[in-house]
Amino acid sequence: MRWRATTCGLGLVLLVAAACGGQTGTGGPAGSPPGGGATSTAPVAPSAPATRVPPALPGGPREMQPPAGVTPVPAGRVDASALPADFPREVYVSADGRQLFVRAEEGGCGRAAAELTGQDAQRVVVTLVESKSNLAGQMCTMDLRYPVVSVTLSAPLNERTVVLKSAKRGY
C-alpha cells in the first residue's frame, strides 16, 4: 500500500517538473506574455543562431575535380617518390599538353598551390606547396581537402616525366 503512495507522489513530482521545464517565459508576472508586451496571435518564427562566416582564404573557391577534357598522365610517367606516402598522386594533362592539373592536399587554414620548379627535355618538376595562414587567433578546422591545382608548361608535356615534390610554407 505504501508503494502506491510513493509511486503517485513521484508521478506528481515528475508531472510538475515536466510542466515547469516546458515554460519559456522570461520570469514576468504569471499570465503575462514573455517580454511584458501585448499578446499577439501571429506565430513567432524561431530565431536562427548567429553564425560566424570565416574570412575568405586567398585564391577563392577551389576546384575539387579536374576540368573536363583532360587526360590522366600514366602512372609510369609520374615520379611521386618525394611525396609523403599518404599524398595523392593524380596528374592530368590538357588536350594541348601545355597545362598540368595535379591533385594536392591542404587542411585547416592551409592552401595548396602548384609551382613549376623545373623543366627540361626529359622531365617536368612540380612542387606542391601548402601555405598556412598566420593570422593571430584564427581558428582552423581539422579536415583535409584535395583540390586540383595547375601549372602551365612552356612546351607540351609529350613523353616527359612529371616529378612531384612537396613543401610547406608559413608553418
Domain that holds residue 158: 71-169
Beta strand pairing call for 78-79 and 161-169: parallel
Q: Residue 130 falls within a domain, yes or no?
A: yes
Is 111 within the bounds of a domain? yes
**Segment 89-100, tens digit of pLDDT:** 999 999 999 999
Total domains in the chain come to 1
Q: For the chain, give the longest Cα–Cα distance.
A: 98
Question: What is the structure's pLDDT at 52?
Answer: 35
Residue 38 lies in a domain: no
Q: Give every CB contact of residue 59 below 8 A, 6+ residues apart in sequence.
A: 111, 113
Q: Is 108 part of any domain?
A: yes
Q: Whole-angstrom Cα distance, residue 87 to residue 107?
A: 12
Q: Is residue 77 part of a domain?
A: yes
Query: Collapsing DSSP states into helix, strand and coil, what is residue 21?
Result: helix
Q: pLDDT tens-digit profile of 105-123?
A: 998 888 999 999 999 999 9
Q: Which residues of the chain have pLDDT under 50?
A: 24-40, 42-60
Residue 145 lies in a domain: yes
45 part of a folded domain = no
pTM attached to this predicted model: 0.62
In a domain? residue 132:
yes
